[in-house]
């Protein structure tokens, strides 16, 4: 990874819905502003359940419907020590933070925040795998990404 870039890693449970939606949305935002070259954006899971899988079809369809390009993607799990390569590690919910504390170690949580904290909210981005509500998830992801981008630029 280039050291001169702003490096953002989005995290969720399986890396096929929320974190990948956030990755696509943020990449689209920076590319649309002509600043994509200043960023490295990726996404990961905290579990092994979906490793190797592409973005979940309903998430893909929601992004397409909103005109957001889909980045090439296969789900992967975050690795211990990986936090050193990222400036921002952005989780979708409190469970992701608990998993990261176990994977990365409590001493390595300084870069970790929940996405909605950037809009001044303490809540979680609901997992559409369980809720089925990809519209609400997308809206939260967009709000969070806009606020995150404003805070880093």
Catalytic residues: 12, 18, 127
- Distance between CA atoms of residues 93 and 127, nearest Å: 9
Element (H, E) at 62: helix 57-65
Distance CA(120)–CA(16), nearest Å, equals: 26
Can you tell me whether residue 42 is helix, strand or coil? strand
C-alpha angle 91-33-10 in degrees, rounded to nearest 5: 10
């Amino acid at each position: 990874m280039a050291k001169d870039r702003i490096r953002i890693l989005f995290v969720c449970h399986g890396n096929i819905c929320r974190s990948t939606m956030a990755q696509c949305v943020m990449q689209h935002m920076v590319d649309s502003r002509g600043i994509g070259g200043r960023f490295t954006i990726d996404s990961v899971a905290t579990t092994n359940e979906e490793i190797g899988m592409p973005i979940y079809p309903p998430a893909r369809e929601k992004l397409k419907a909103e005109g957001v390009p889909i980045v090439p993607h296969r789900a992967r799990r975050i690795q211990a020590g990986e936090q050193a390569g990222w400036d921002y590690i952005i989780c979708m919910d409190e469970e992701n933070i608990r998993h990261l504390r176990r994977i990365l170690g409590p001493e390595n949580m300084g870069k970790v925040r929940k996405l909605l904290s950037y809009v001044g909210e303490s809540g979680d981005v609901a997992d559409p795998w369980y809720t089925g509500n990809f519209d609400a998830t997308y809206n939260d992801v967009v709000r969070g990404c806009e606020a995150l981008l404003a805070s880093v630029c």
